[in-house]
Amino acid sequence: MSDDPKDVSTEDDHFDLESFDLPQLRKAVEDQDAQRVFELFDPLHPADIADILEQIGAEQRRALVHLYGTEFDGDILSELDENIRDEVVGYLRPEVLAEAVRDMDSDDVVDLLEDLDESQHDVILEALEEDERDAARQALSYPEYSAGRLMQREFVAVPEDWTVGQTIDLMRTADDLPDQFYHVFLVTPEHVPTGYVTLGRLLSSKRDTALADILEDSFRTFELDEEEGDVAYAFNQYHLISAPVVDADDRLVGVITIDDAMAVLDEEHEEDLLRMAGAGEGSLSDGVLETTWQRLPWLGVNLGTAIIASLVIAIFEATIETLVALAVLMPIIASMGGNAGTQSMAVAVRGLATRDLTGANVWRVIRRETFVGLLNGVIFAVVMGVVGYVWFGSMMLAGVIAAAMVINLVVAGLSGIGLPALLDRLGVDPALASGTFVTTVTDVVGFFAFLGLATMLLL
């Protein structure tokens, strides 16, 4: 990566952000130089402009949006992080907002609306034409995170007995084709989708070919209230590019495209990663108070579980008083258990997210994790036994720490895979702070095994 933005060749133009001259932009904002802002933003994709808006401070952002004025379009708004979007909508001039919203695809409008405060809905809805407004209201009536929210209403559908020629003629004369589409859907007279044809196949087939003869195998439909995570999984699993959404009567009402599914997949991953760490739904652009508040609940749970672990230690206070070396060594057992448990847990959370960990193989995986814990337990028991002997010169102490290591790593493997699997079975997101629970188990078991064995064998 070059430090000098001028070194970056045009071939690197998909890394606009890394070569973007932020100091120049800051200066333009300070100088109230709208022309310079236009020049700097002109070559950028709306997604990159949105990223830049997220990365600067709130005051500069406001000044910048103001300077950018009517150039600020709906695509930038769509790409902004939820809380920044809320903020920007709050001070966008109504006519700019109205103009911005008018250009957006129906799914993007819904995406925008669902994240905004109720009070801001009206500003946006008023900006839309009547049928678009009804459509947006309709979409908002579907459950959050459902296929209904994700779909766009623009699609091309033709009767199932049509030929290639008829379809091409329709498209050539239609003036309201979607901006982006990849399939033509076949529907019954009741508007039930029965298959689809790719545009490539349509273009390369003879005019008199029946559409029914060139259908794709990959056809799948989704229902309006289906969870978006399930939709994203299906797109990834079955390599779908677009898929129809049907209502309760199986009628075609919209289409989901892979780029939206990809965005959902990405969000679900973010959720897994942050939840596993107990970090909530945090975003980099959240403020201090908001972030503190998001992190607080799981820190609270963690404090509770840490106190439980302390109570275990408290049972053995007398032992520690006699042999203070135990206090020195006990965090090692807890740390190794926590680490091994986290390893197993990450594999479990991932396996559950990709649906590779199922009832069919969960016992085999639990067995595997237990044996892995046993093997690594024995290996590190030997290492730690030697370290303990060299350090404290007691064969018995070395034996106790070695035994505790084996016990804790076996339990770590078991709970690392078992707890997420159990949460999943109970209908709870397995990523949801499995971390805290797994380390609690390994802490409690680790302290108990180590101090308990020490009490029995060393006193």
Q: Per CB under 8 A, which of residues 150..189 are in contact with a copy of itself?
A: 168, 171-172, 174, 177-178, 180-182
450, HSE (Cβ side, Cα atoms, 13 Å): 36
User: 72 to 131, contacts with a copy of itself by CB under 8 A?
Assistant: none
Give the distance from CA 46 to its chain's centroid. Answer: 21
The smaller minimum CB distance to a copy of itself, of residues 127 and 186, is found at 186
131, 189, 203, 426: residue in contact with a copy of itself (rule CB under 8 A): 203
215, 263, 396, 458: residue in contact with a copy of itself (rule CB under 8 A): 263
User: 233 to 262, contacts with a copy of itself by CB under 8 A?
Assistant: 234-239, 241, 250, 258-259, 261-262
Please report where in the chains the tokens 């379009």 appear, as a residue.
Answer: 73
Residue 2 touching a copy of itself (CB under 8 A): no
What angle (nearest 5°) sits at the alpha carbon of residue 129, between those of residues 127 and 132?
105
Residue type, position 328, single letter: V
Residue 223 touching a copy of itself (CB under 8 A): yes
The smaller minimum CB distance to a copy of itself, of residues 189 and 300, is found at 300
Minimum distance of a copy of itself from residue 78's CB (angstroms)? 10
* Burial class for 174, CB neighbours closer than 10 Å (0-12, 13-18, 19+): exposed
Residue 355 touching a copy of itself (CB under 8 A): yes
- Residue 110: closest CA among 71, 78, 73, 83: 78
Residue 321 touching a copy of itself (CB under 8 A): yes
Give the distance from CA 294 to its chain's centroid. Answer: 17
Residue 284 touching a copy of itself (CB under 8 A): yes
The whole-angstrom separation of Cα 153 and Cα 132 is: 10
269, 389, 429, 458: residue in contact with a copy of itself (rule CB under 8 A): 269
User: 286 to 315, contacts with a copy of itself by CB under 8 A?
Assistant: 286-289, 291-292, 295-296, 298-300, 302-303, 305-307, 309-310, 313-314
Residue 439 touching a copy of itself (CB under 8 A): yes
158, 202, 215, 458: residue in contact with a copy of itself (rule CB under 8 A): 202
The smaller minimum CB distance to a copy of itself, of residues 189 and 203, is found at 203
Residue 435 touching a copy of itself (CB under 8 A): yes
290, HSE (Cβ side, Cα atoms, 13 Å): 9
Q: How far apart are the first and last CA of the chain?
A: 62
E runs forming strands in 261-318: none
The whole-angstrom separation of Cα 354 and Cα 335 is: 29
Residues 26-55: x/- map of binding to a copy of itself (CB under 8 A)? Answer: -------------------x-xx--xx-xx
13, 95, 126, 144: residue in contact with a copy of itself (rule CB under 8 A): 13
The pairing of strands 183-187 and 193-198 is: antiparallel
Q: In what order do the strands lie in the sheet with 252-257?
A: 222-223, 242-246, 252-257
